[in-house]
Structure 1
Amino acid sequence: MTFRNSAHRRAAGAVLGLVAVLTLGACSSEPTVTASGTTGGGPTQSAPAALPAKVTVQPAAGAQDVPPGEPITVSVTDGTLDSVVLTNPEGKQVAGQPAPDKKSWKTTEELGFGKTYTWSGQAVGTDGKPAPINGSFTTVKPRRQMSGSLNVGDGITYGIAMPITLTFPSRVTDKASVEKALSVETTPKTEGAWGWTDGDTSVHWRPKEYFKPNTDVKVNAKIYGVKMGDGVYGQQDVSASFKIGRSQIVKGNPQTHRMQVIRDGQQVADYPVSYGLDSDPGRVTNSGVHVVMSKHATYSMSNPRYGYTDVNVPWAVRISNNGEFIHGLASSIWAQGKQNISHGCLNLSPANAKEYYDGVLTGDPVEIEGSTQQLGPKDGDYSDWTYKWADWQKLSALAS
């Protein structure tokens, strides 16, 4: 009996010990109150260190020959901006805007060429102490200024293949700086890229694929004060907001002597055509994606090489810079739909040409296939669609 009682007491003690261990284990995760009254039991977060403000001005104090088109900013770490003032040589303040978090400030007006600007103001660090903002910089005095011109205009509606071009009167040697200053915004979002197609004087933006109908487009060329190379700087910004209209694609084939008009996915016309003479490379109509460049109720055509000058044709729609048009010509009606006898143009009857003319938009694509010659980059200003997308991207000055 004594043995049994002793064993019973030892078992009971073991159970109590187990309970105690479990209880201590459970309690070990509970927060405890320290002598200072704070709770413990987990990681604690210390207060941020009190640090002096570190101010950065761009361009740096003392900088010379600063392009006025570059960012003019003040930024601070370990603090906030209390006041920022940038003054010109006449003591007038330059307009600027702080960021909502007061961590940075930037100019909102253009600076002048060949002027010295001076910073003043202060930031406050997390240590509560002020840090001065000071220094000055001088903008560049250009050898020459140059403007660019866009091929698109505000409020105008264009076709789905319309490229955007920015053209300069002379060479741009710092193409990368210029391209960085360009932007295209579209709704809906449209993938596209810039490419330098005409040597050093013109940069184009084209979408990867045709624009979707009714796309809104805004192009900004913020080139004022931007380096263009050889001491030349941008003279002024240019911009335009325009719209893409309905989808219209012309599909033509010299072998069938026909051309179809496809509008919003539906064929709306099928015209008999006389294309360029196939046997003469100088007269053949090129295969490839052409783009409507302009249209004229009447147009005077000359080609001394083939013995004619000042021939007036009605309802002429230019589709390249190498002499290719879609136009009316009554004297070739007998060949339209049967033979190719033109000098590269698509000849329609005047009535059919007028019908097509009335519905066409600058920027509409004209897709020709089946000829002996291929449209190429040398065939005009709107040769953008002669490039495959991967090859087009390589024309960017920023391509890696």
Structure 2
Amino acid sequence: MTRRTSDPGSATRRPAPFRALAAVVLAGALAFTATACTKAGEQGGGPSFQGGSEAEEKPKASAAITAPAADAKDVPASAEIAFNSKDAVETAVEVKNAAGEAVKGAVTGAGTWLPEKALEYGTTYTATVTATGDDGKPATTTSTFTTMAKPGKQIRVTSFLGDGQTVGVGMPLIVKFSRAVPEDYRDDVQRRMTVRATPAQEGIWHWVSPTEVRYRPKTYWKANTKIFYKIQAGGLPMGGGWYGRSDLTVDIKTGPAVVMTVDNKTKKMTVKRDGKVIKTIPISLGKKSTPSSSGTMVVIEKLKKTVFNTMDDPNPANRYITDIEYAQRLTWGGEFIHAAPWSVASQGRTNVSHGCVNMSTANANWLFNQTRVGDPIQVKGTERKLENGNGWTDWNMSWDQYVKGSAIPAGETAATPSTEPTTEATTTG
């Protein structure tokens, strides 16, 4: 708001064209007021200013609620309050149920208030928006609405990870839906998905399929990062009369940054922890007829003892049943890191495996005790490239490729209110 000033010299701080105009106006004003401002007996005396002009009247603030509509019925339990205000220096939103109890929530963007969790079904709520202007006087508007009855068609939302887990720095956050989410509803779902990391790191959600979405940061998670993610899907419309069953929250953290690199040329694995090499291990990869995949993978599962059974392989030469120790799965197609005492003589020299990363029992045991699910491994220089989707291949894509899997534009943030103090990650989408 522009205010007038009582300082005649203030005109000198304006742009040049304005100064010229002001001088003309001022000259006319002086000529008009000279007689009134001159003291009796003075000849040619200059004008004497007695204070400035009165301040403009300060505009009054106003506010309006645009959704849900007043007295609306059958409102989804995921409802947010959309509002606008004018000439307000401060705007507050309050939502109460029929009993007068306040609903926790927060303003999440320009003109949007989101409850901290899904509203109750079949319940009447009153939203109040108060806008306070420069004059200090509040303007208040209210709107009452009623949520829908609990729907019979609900989609369950689940997370691969659970509270309290410690994972590797390459671990993607994996969220699944019990029913396919139509493409034109995915942006609405994604806007209700929030990731907060301490320390903050840029990241994005990527739709792997209609029933699965994942999140990864731009680079590997930093060591010992605290991660909180929330999917506020309760009551959210997901197409075809289906609604989200409930909200979901998960609290995890990463461990040290353990990163493995395998080079087919040297037949060695280099293991780093927090950027420092802690061990170099001789390995044997897949022979030419069954090559290992080159690309970036992460540890999917760890099995101290298991049995490899490939008797359903169409090639008789690849059929076997073998007891295995210290197995760490890398792909759905059956590539593992594992102990292979039968190939120790070939490790560091030549490739003899069926696609796995073979190492001695002692080295496999040592490595098994260093890693976590989600630790990344990069294999370089083999005859076959890793196929995206064959495992958690989120890091096998460039950042630009990964961003294309988001349902909302890069740079747009999803914001879910929380009463807990956290350091929010920079969310690209």
TM-score over 0.5 for the pair: yes
Q: Separation in 2 of the partners of 1:354 and 1:98?
A: 49
* Alignment correspondent of 2:369: 358
**Maintained 8 Å contact 2:287/2:355:** yes
Offset at 1:392?
Answer: 0.7
Q: Separation in 1 of the partners of 2:142 and 2:383?
A: 69
Offset at 1:295?
Answer: 0.8
* Alignment correspondent of 1:398: 408
Q: Separation in 2 of the partners of 1:98 and 1:326?
A: 47
* Alignment correspondent of 1:10: none
* Alignment correspondent of 2:344: 333
* Alignment correspondent of 1:181: 192
* Alignment correspondent of 2:178: 169
Offset at 1:63?
Answer: 3.0
- Higher mean alpha-carbon deviation, 317-326 vs 76-85, is at 76-85
Q: Secondary structure at the match of 1:334?
A: coil
**Maintained 8 Å contact 2:299/2:372:** yes
Structure 1 segments of 4 or more deviating over 6 A?
73-76, 78-85, 103-106, 120-132
Offset at 1:239?
Answer: 1.5
Counterpart pick for 2:399 among 389, 393, 400: 389
Q: Separation in 2 of the partners of 1:105 and 1:177?
A: 15
* Alignment correspondent of 1:142: 151
Q: Secondary structure at the match of 1:205?
A: strand
Q: Separation in 1 of the partners of 2:57 and 2:378?
A: 68
* Alignment correspondent of 1:317: 328
Instruction: Provide the aligned length of Structure 1 versus Structure 2.
Output: 357
Q: Separation in 2 of the partners of 1:165 and 1:172?
A: 15
> Alpha carbon RMSD of aligned pairs, Å?
3.5
**Maintained 8 Å contact 2:283/2:348:** yes
Offset at 1:77?
Answer: 5.8
Q: Separation in 1 of the partners of 2:222 and 2:129?
A: 50
Question: Cα distance 1:97–1:374, how it changes in 2: closer, same or farther (>3 A)?
Answer: closer
Instruction: Look up the equivalent residue of 1:158 and give its one-letter code.
Output: V
**Maintained 8 Å contact 1:61/1:137:** no
Q: Separation in 2 of the partners of 1:367 and 1:150?
A: 26
**Maintained 8 Å contact 1:98/1:104:** no
Question: Cα distance 1:301–1:355, how it changes in 2: closer, same or farther (>3 A)?
Answer: same
Counterpart pick for 1:58 among 62, 67, 75: 67
Match status 1:263 vs 2:273: yes
- Higher mean alpha-carbon deviation, 164-173 vs 133-142, is at 133-142
Q: Separation in 2 of the partners of 1:82 and 1:332?
A: 69
Instruction: Look up the equivalent residue of 1:236 and give its one-letter code.
Output: S
* Alignment correspondent of 1:293: 300
Larger Rg, first or second structure (1 or 2):
1
* Alignment correspondent of 1:8: none
Offset at 1:140?
Answer: 6.3
* Alignment correspondent of 2:119: 111
* Alignment correspondent of 2:103: 96
Gaps of 5+ in 2: 1-41, 411-429
Q: RCO (CA 8 Å, sep 6+): is it higher in 1 or 2? A: 2
**Maintained 8 Å contact 2:80/2:112:** no
Q: Separation in 2 of the partners of 1:341 and 1:98?
A: 59
* Alignment correspondent of 1:157: 166
Instruction: Look up the equivalent residue of 2:308 and give its one-letter code.
Output: M
Offset at 1:93?
Answer: 4.0
Gaps of 5+ in 1: 1-18, 33-38
Question: Cα distance 1:338–1:93, how it changes in 2: closer, same or farther (>3 A)?
Answer: same
**Maintained 8 Å contact 1:74/1:106:** no
**Maintained 8 Å contact 1:175/1:397:** yes
**Maintained 8 Å contact 2:295/2:386:** yes
Q: Separation in 1 of the partners of 2:330 and 2:248?
A: 26
Q: Separation in 2 of the partners of 1:84 and 1:389?
A: 40
Match status 1:220 vs 2:230: yes
Question: Cα distance 1:75–1:84, how it changes in 2: closer, same or farther (>3 A)?
Answer: farther
**Maintained 8 Å contact 1:119/1:135:** yes
Q: Separation in 1 of the partners of 2:105 and 2:186?
A: 31
Query: Structure 1, residues 299-349: CA drift from partner, whole Å, max 9, x if none?
Result: 221222155354220011112222111001222223222221211111111
Q: Secondary structure at the match of 1:203?
A: strand
Q: Secondary structure at the match of 1:228?
A: coil
TM-score normalised according to structure 2 size:
0.73
Instruction: Look up the equivalent residue of 1:299 and give its one-letter code.
Output: T
**Maintained 8 Å contact 2:207/2:214:** yes
**Maintained 8 Å contact 2:161/2:173:** yes
Offset at 1:182?
Answer: 0.5
* Alignment correspondent of 1:248: 258
TM-score normalised according to structure 1 size:
0.78
Query: Structure 1, residues 26-59: CA drift from partner, whole Å, max 9, x if none?
Result: x55xx40xxxxxx32xx531333567x6442631
Q: Separation in 1 of the partners of 2:302 and 2:222?
A: 23
**Maintained 8 Å contact 1:81/1:104:** no
**Maintained 8 Å contact 2:189/2:233:** yes
Q: Secondary structure at the match of 1:255?
A: coil
Query: What percentage of aligned pairs have identical amino acids?
Result: 29
Q: Separation in 2 of the partners of 1:127 and 1:86?
A: 25
